[in-house]
Amino acid sequence: MSWLPSLKTETPEEGYELAIMLSRMAVKKTQPDDAARERMRPEYANDPANLTQVSLVVATNFQTVAAANNHWR
């Protein structure tokens, strides 16, 4: 079974949660080594610029999910 069967969600809140999951999965697929991600986490978790960039990635993914859901109209 696919980890992403659909971009369709019932609500915008569910869509936002999906956008976060998409963003996290991109990191996991880009760096599949759990230990490496754990070592890097303190670097980006304490850097305001990196945290802002994370928000931009989630926002981009949310736009994609919203479009797939016809903006929940």
Structural domain including 31 reads 12-72
DSSP code of residue 31: S
Question: How far is the C-alpha of 50 from the C-alpha of 42, rounded, in Å?
Answer: 11
Question: What is the model's pLDDT at position 48?
Answer: 93
Length of the chain: 73
- The answer to the question of residue 4 being in a domain is no
Does residue 5 sit within a domain?
no
Q: Is the dihedral of CA 45, 50, 55, 60 positive or negative?
A: negative
The total number of structural domains that make up the chain: 1
Q: Tens digits of per-residue pLDDT, 27-66? A: 999 999 999 999 999 988 899 999 899 999 999 999 999 9
Task: Grade residue 2 by pLDDT with cuts at 50, 70 and 90.
Answer: confident
Q: Is residue 40 part of a domain?
A: yes
The pLDDT value recorded for residue 44 is 85
Question: With a threshold of 0.75, does the pTM exceed it?
Answer: yes
